[in-house]
């Protein structure tokens, strides 16, 4: 058992759209990701997913709705909801989701990561 410093962990991440596991509890993963540009529209049939902005901002596009998120704000995407994060500039986010969640959900894409690295 040891504490995690979020800034230190982000310094180890040098690729966009590549979430890294930094914690696990109750079958859920805590992940950090640097994002920039457009992700792919996708959904998770069985998993809710939480996006918390640590630095910067991004917008979550969904069919018929877009939500802008800034530092210190979070959004929970319920299972089955199509969504696509887009960041004009680099943003640093924390994610909470069940262990085993695939980042691109129901879509197979170059961004797909089946098993995120632990840092």
Question: Quick one: 7 or 110, whose CB is closer to a second copy?
Answer: 7
Measured CA to CA, the distance from residue 10 to residue 61 in angstroms comes to 25
Q: Burial-class residue 7 by CB neighbours within 10 Å (0-12, 13-18, 19+).
A: exposed
Question: Quick one: 82 or 109, whose CB is closer to a second copy?
Answer: 82
- Compute the least distance from the CB of residue 74 to a second copy, in Å: 5
- Compute the least distance from the CB of residue 20 to a second copy, in Å: 14
Nearest by Cα to 51 from 72, 27, 28: 72
Hey, is 109 helix, strand or coil? coil
User: What is the binding site for a second copy (CB under 8 A)?
Assistant: 1-7, 23-26, 28, 30, 47-50, 54, 65, 67-69, 72-78, 81, 96-98
Question: Quick one: 7 or 114, whose CB is closer to a second copy?
Answer: 7
């Amino acid at each position: 058992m040891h504490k995690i410093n979020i800034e230190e962990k982000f310094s180890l991440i040098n690729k966009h759209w590549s979430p890294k596991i930094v914690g696990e509890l109750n079958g859920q993963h805590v992940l950090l990701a640097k994002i920039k540009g457009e992700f792919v529209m996708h959904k998770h049939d069985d998993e809710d997913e939480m996006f918390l902005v640590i630095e910067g901002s991004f917008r979550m596009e969904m069919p018929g709705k877009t939500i802008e998120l800034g530092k210190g704000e979070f959004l929970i995407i319920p299972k089955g909801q199509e969504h696509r994060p887009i960041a004009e500039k680099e943003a640093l986010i924390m994610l909470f989701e069940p262990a085993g969640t695939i980042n691109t959900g129901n879509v197979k894409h170059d961004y797909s990561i089946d098993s995120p690295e632990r840092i």
